[in-house]
Amino acid sequence: MIRPLLTKDVSQVVSLYENYMFDSELKKIGEKFLYLLFVAINDSNYSINYVYEENSKVVGFISAALNTKKLFEELLRKSKLAFLRSLFFSLLKRPYLLFFMLEFGCYLQKAQHKRIKAELLFIVIDPQYRKSGRAKGLINTVVTDLKKMSHNTVRVLVLKKNWAANHLLRNLGFCLVNEFKFFNKQNLLYEYVFNAKAPQP
């Protein structure tokens, strides 16, 4: 069952992210930071968030931004102190994370955010529940919401070596538009153009 992500789901979402986003740089900052991040994203008016629930267990989730730049500006404005405190203690333990912050600052330009506002930020499915259309269902649910909000394009960044994700996106109609290194890993940028549904009067 697909339903909106609730605050009570965030612990399960963080667990999915930590366990199955194997190449994520965000994990290096720590679990507390991830929890703060997902709570803040879910509370934002610039985000869309859903979970896939099976037998009262969250087995997958998706987070999307209506406008990535505005979303992260809002997160910093509302939760700056909490984020900075979490980052500070992480940097004390792992000084190399400073390069992570600098690299992330270049992402908005690399990912063509001026041209395309909406973005699929995170898509995670427990491996035991994959290959059954759950990821496709989550993506289609977000796209339906975006259409209702008069968006007509969405983008997503995926590791080049993530064959399964690349295969799924291409099957859904996403087109490859760019390729670049992000955190010293080769990434592919896709976009999906669809017909926006006019808002009901």
Return the pLDDT at 199.
Answer: 42
* pLDDT tens sequence across 161-189: 999 999 999 999 999 998 888 777 899 99
**Distances from the Cα of 196 to the Cα of 147, 149, 151, 193, angstroms:** 4, 8, 6, 9
Instruction: Let me know: does 101 contact 89? Beta carbons within 8 Å.
Output: no
Lowest mean pLDDT among 63-77, 100-114, 149-163: 100-114
- Which amino acid is it at 30? G
Lowest mean pLDDT among 4-13, 32-41, 46-55, 192-201: 192-201
Domain residue ranges of the chain, discontinuous segments joined by +? 2-193
* pLDDT tens sequence across 26-83: 787 778 889 988 999 999 999 999 999 999 999 999 999 999 888 888 887 876 556 5
- Distance, in Å, from the CA atom of 155 to the CA atom of 123, rounded to the nearest integer, reads 13
Sequence-distant (6+) residues with CB within 8 A of 122 are 17, 21, 61, 62, 63
**Distances from the Cα of 23 to the Cα of 11, 49, 63, 158, angstroms:** 20, 22, 18, 11
Total residues found in the chain within this entry: 201
What CATH superfamily classification does 2-193 receive?
Gcn5-related N-acetyltransferase (GNAT) (3.40.630.30)
Sign of CA dihedral 8, 28, 162, 70: positive
| Element (DSSP H or E) covering residue 72 | helix 68-93
Instruction: Let me know: does 44 contact 75? Beta carbons within 8 Å.
Output: yes
Return the pLDDT at 200.
Answer: 44
Sign of CA dihedral 135, 140, 145, 146: positive
Q: Is 100 helix (H, G, I), strand (E, B) or coil?
A: helix
DSSP code, position 129: G
pLDDT tier at 116, thresholds 50, 70, 90: confident
Closest CA relative to residue 50, chosen from 14, 17, 11, 1: 1
Residue 154: pLDDT over 60: yes
Return the pLDDT at 86.
Answer: 61
| Element (DSSP H or E) covering residue 42 | helix 31-43
